[in-house]
A and B are shown apart, each in its own frame.
Chain A
Amino acid sequence: MIAKIVCYALNGLDGVPVEVETDVNKGIPSYEMVGLPDTAVKESKERVRSALKNSGLLFPVNRITINFAPADIKKEGASFDLAVAISLLKASEQLVGATTDGYVFLGELALSGDIRPINGILPILISAKSHGFSRFIIPADNAKEARFLSGAEIYPARTLTEVMRHLVGTLTIPPLQTAQYAPHTASGGGADLKFVKGQPVARRALEIAVAGGHNLLMVGPPGTGKTMLARCLPTVMPDLTFAEALEITKIHSIAGILGEEGIVTERPFRTPHHTATTVSLCGGGNQHVRPGEISLAHGGVLFLDELPEYKRSTLEALRQPLEDGVITVARAGGTFTYPARFMLCASMNPCPCGNYGARDKVCTCTPAEIRAYRKKISGPLLDRIDLQVEVDNISYDDLTAPEMCESSAQVKERVERVRAIQRNRFAAESISTNAEMGEREMARYCTLDAEGDKILRAAFERMNLSARARGRIIKVARTIADLDASEYIRPKHVFEAVSYRLFDKLG
């Protein structure tokens, strides 16, 4: 008898249905798997054999052929174990009277017959639901992640026996209750702007960056709190919406880094070390294609500390995803697209010795050395970083202005307000933040008065700015005007925006 059972494979962020067909024939006992299974899938033979035995079930002593269809996509990982076991049981007529139609089986088996959690449950469930499947058997340990999917019957199972009894009707596994998503204010690992001493310029830049979706570069001597400021970024970003949370969860689920919660409720903050390779940053890999750091930072912040220390080719690879918000990884085994809409925050020393601009130390670098150091970051990449600010090391002990000790919550309030303005503004467009504006949107929404235009022209002449830099300045000025609740971009907004183009000025 031939048994057909449905399970799912992952292709990028999408699930692809895979039918496990099992045929048990008379003949010399053998156990073959066909249909492009990788090593981990082939190993399921042994896991399934032991799991059946240890669950008190029979492993048929016949000629067994298992086929994974469609045969042309590569199947990876251990998530097919449960489906293989069930199809074997069905083919060997140990599941009399059970209905398996309309079910999707997901899970890895332990030798004891226990069901182990798998990666990527949420993306699989979402895809399967859109393919018309509505009943799922999943590992109980994945229940937390799966409970955010509504409109499907999801049965979390602990053991193979449980699944079998559920199918024949001697036991009913209680279906999973759909959970309500509750947005979470990012704790940021305890980071909060109120713990940052002073740094009014960097604070302001941070606020503008988050409010308008701009990228940020902080330049300053070592030990001035650049990393701490960056860690505060997620704490001032707007709360995740359910749709955003689901998308981030999907990526984290595939990468297998999903926490206890089962869903990502805080904006990610990823800090890959500067030894990171292009593949680890962008995604890829030989056997298992995995999303890279930029995709794991989707919806959150990618923090690159000591920017010039990264390999230049690695940084250049960021240019395209920075522009498009997605990365397409092409490998011999297939092409995978992962979302990668992140905010880039980078930090660097002002010069090789680190003391350029420091108050109490003397910089010993020659201009040529400083130039060589800054040249490590290419113009096109720098062009994509709208805000470039200096973080200094003066002591702020005797300064008492309120803006020196604002908390993240206060800043976030303003950010939410400005984001709302942008949502209204771009309601008819396909973008949602000022930073994403193209030429067309800029012409429509960034009107400068005559004086502002004159200033900008003068600035361009003096600073010898490129046309691209002009666009960046206008976008930042737009965000500053929004923070100021001003419909028009006024000269002071332009001036402030110009002051955040540190690198253009240094030439």
Chain B
Amino acid sequence: MRYSEEEKAYLWLCACTDLDASARIAVLREAHDPAALFHGFPVPHASEGKSRRDEAEKFLAALERKGYFALTLLSDDYPENLKNIPDPPLVLYGAGRRELLRAQKFCIVGSRRAPASAIATGKRMAEEISRHITIVTGLAEGGDSAAIAGAIPSGNLICVLPCGLDNCYPAAHASLKERVVKAGLLLSEYLPEEGTTKYAFYARNRLLAGLSDGVLVLAAGKRSGALITANRAAEYGRDVFAIPYGLGVEQGEGCNDLIKHGAHLLTEAEDVLTMYGYGGESRAEAQFTEEETRVISALKERGEAHLAELAEALQMRVFEVTAILSALELKGAVAKSGGNRYTAV
């Protein structure tokens, strides 16, 4: 990867000084030409005596050894969408398929405690949407993981971390992180070795919204972090989508609120695809056997039902229903919601 003088100057400013974001921008404004930084332009607190260019080169070499790349506001492939937010990061670090930066992007997020049905729905939608549009999400459990699971097969997936690329939050998702790097793209605005802070999640959520044309909230409680992403998206003028929930579902209150305030109500991935001009392709209907159809319609009638209840209604043995539901679960048509209860997806 080749970097221009200006880009290197950006990198030096971001990686080799300890200025905060506003101070960096102030320096760049004053300097007019970023390359001036390499010609002795005064920068507060910068260490004297060392060649700034050498420092930048050294940093870049270290990045490349780890297999990362850096992306500056000046790069050709810096996402246009991101330039249009009030506080775009000067530099982003990435690992994986850089070409995804140019693709059209759609964000899917959801609470970490998303109900099983939302996880299954999210996975299916991510799978369908990612055939045409790159999915942007985080790396957390619940909604994020559902989106990742759906998008990994196509590889059209960008995950944005709230910490440096060396680290993983949550730590338990280290192997998931590896899979994302292999299949898609991992982004972060932090130096590779940086850890995470509370603030970093807010900042990361602005990138999720900023990168994308639209944001889908799979599940959110009243105070879920997913709502921050949705609010940023609304501020930036992006489309906001939410899945509707019945009353009394705690993890759906945030979604219902969004819809109440004007978010698109989403029931099919197709809604998103048509909106962005990818219509016409109907979803391949899953093939169900006669028994499966009976079970599914009985389940849909009830919304959520216990195994025994279904067996009673269908006049079948419980273990027969278990087997059928298990088959349907593998087809992605139902989700287990805990306590031997199932919901249709």
Contact B339 A394 (CB under 8 A): yes
Instruction: Tell me, yes or no, whether B80 is within 8 Å of chain A by CB.
Output: no
Does B341 lie within 8 Å of A401, measured CB to CB? no
CB neighbours of B113 from chain A (8 A): 366-367
Given A358-B339, A499-B322, 20 more pairs with CB closer than 8 A: A201-B307, A201-B308, A201-B318, A201-B340, A357-B338, A357-B339, A366-B112, A367-B142, A368-B141, A394-B306, A399-B309, A401-B318, A458-B330, A459-B330, A462-B330, A462-B332, A463-B330, A492-B324, A495-B327, A498-B330
A458 to B319, CA, bound (A): 21
- Asked whether A396 lies within 8 Å of B327 as measured between CB atoms, the reply is no
- CB-based contact A368/B337 at 8 Å: no
Whether A367 contacts B311 in the complex (CB less than 8 A), given A201-B340, A359-B339, A493-B323, comes out as no
Bound-complex Cα distance A384 to B313 (A): 35
Query: Is B112 a contact partner of A496 (Cβ separation < 8 A)?
Result: no
A residues contacting B by CB (< 8 A) are: 198, 200-201, 204, 220-221, 350, 356-359, 362, 366-368, 371, 390, 392-394, 396, 399-401, 403-404, 455, 458-459, 462-463, 491-493, 495-496, 498-499, 505
The yes or no answer to B178 lying at the interface (CB within 8 A) is no
Contacts of B324 in A (CB 8 A): 492, 495
Does B326 sit at the interface, judged by CB under 8 A? yes
The complex places the Cα of A220 from the Cα of B340 at a distance, in Å, of 10
Q: How long is the Cα–Cα vector from A394 to B337 in the complex, in angstroms?
A: 14
The DSSP consensus for interface residues of chain B is helix
In the complex, the answer to whether A396 meets B322 with C-beta atoms within 8 Å is no
By the criterion CB–CB under 8 Å, are A392 and B323 in contact? no
Render B280-320 as a binary contact track against A, CB cut-off 8 A, 1 for contact: 00000000000000000000000000111101100001111
Question: Which among A358, A368, A392 is the interface contact of B306 at CB below 8 angstroms?
Answer: A392
Cβ of B336 within 8 Å of any chain A Cβ, yes or no, is yes
Given A200-B307, A200-B311, A394-B339, the answer on whether A496 and B319 have CB atoms closer than 8 Å is: yes
B26 at the interface (CB under 8 A from A): no
Within 8 A of A (CB), among B147-193: 170, 172
Q: Answer whether residue B325 sits at the interface, using C-beta atoms and an 8 A cutoff.
A: yes
Complex Cα–Cα for A463 and B337 (A) = 16
**Taking the nearest CB of chain B, how far is it from the CB of A369, in angstroms?**
11
* Cα–Cα, bound, A234→B308 (Å): 25
Bound-state Cα–Cα, A17 to B158, Å: 75
- A362-B330 Cα distance, complex, nearest whole Å: 27
The CA of A358 and the CA of B341, in the complex, are separated in Å by 10
A contact residues around B142 at 8 Å (CB): 367
CB distance from A494 to the nearest CB of B (A): 8
| CB pair B326 A399 closer than 8 Å | no
> Out of B250, B308, B322, B338, which one reaches A399, CB within 8 Å?
B308
> A400 — which chain B residues lie within 8 A by C-beta?
312
A200 to B316, CA, bound (A): 12
Q: Which of A200, A350, A358, A393 contacts B318 (CB 8 A)?
A: A200
Give A392 to B336 CA distance when docked, in angstroms.
Answer: 13
Residues of A near B306 (CB, < 8 A) are 392, 394
**How far apart sit A493 and B306, CA to CA, in the bound complex (Å)?**
21
Q: How far is the CA of A103 from the CA of B336 in the complex (A)?
A: 68
Please give, as numbers and ranges, the residues of chain B lying within 8 Å of A399 by CB-CB distance. 308-309, 312
Q: What 8 A-B pairs come out closest when comparing CB atoms?
A: A357-B338, A357-B339, A499-B326, A200-B318, A392-B339, A496-B323, A367-B141, A495-B323
Q: Which residues of B contact A356 (CB under 8 A)?
A: 338
Name the residue on B nearest A490 (C-beta): B323
A-side contacts of B327, CB under 8 Å = 455, 491-492, 495
Q: Hey, which chain A residues are within 8 Å of B341, CB to CB?
A: 357, 359, 392
Q: Which of B113, B306, B325, B338 has the most chain A CB within a 10 Å cutoff?
A: B338
Write the chain B residue with the least CB distance to A404.
B308
- Closest-by-CB residue of A relative to B141 is A367
Would A393 and B339 be within 8 Å (CB), given that A201-B318, A399-B312, A403-B317 are in contact? yes
Q: How far is the CB of A375 from chain B (nearest CB, A)?
A: 9
Cβ distance A498 to chain B, nearest Cβ, rounded Å: 5
17 pairs of residues in contact across A and B, judged by CB atoms under 8 Å: A200-B318, A200-B319, A201-B308, A204-B318, A204-B319, A357-B337, A357-B339, A358-B339, A366-B113, A368-B170, A392-B339, A399-B312, A401-B308, A455-B330, A495-B327, A499-B323, A499-B325
Q: Which of A350, A368, A491 touches B172 (beta carbons < 8 Å)?
A: A368
* Chain B 110-151 interface 0/1 with A at a Cβ cutoff of 8 Å (1 = within): 001100000000000000000000000000011000000000
Give the residues from 189 to 223 in chain B that come closer than 8 angstroms, CB to CB, to chain A: none
Complex CA gap A220/B307 in Å reads 15
- Residues from chain A with a CB closer than 8 A to the CB of B323 are 492-493, 495-496, 499
The answer on a CB contact under 8 Å between B336 and A505 is: yes
- Determine if A390 and B308 form an interchain contact, defined as CB atoms under 8 angstroms apart: no
Tell me the bound Cα distance from A359 to B340 in angstroms: 10
Distance in angstroms from A209 CB to nearest chain B CB is 13
* C-alpha spacing A403/B320, complex, angstroms: 12
Contacts of A396 in B (CB 8 A): 308
User: Please, how many angstroms separate the alpha-carbon atoms of A371 and B142 in the complex?
Assistant: 12
**Alpha-carbon gap, A198 to B308, bound state (A):** 9
B residues in contact with A498, CB < 8 Å: 326, 330
Q: A204 to B339, Cβ gap below 8 A? A: no
Give the residues in chain A near B317, CB-CB below 8 Å. 401, 403
Tell me, in angstroms, the Cα distance from A401 to B337 when the chains sit together: 23
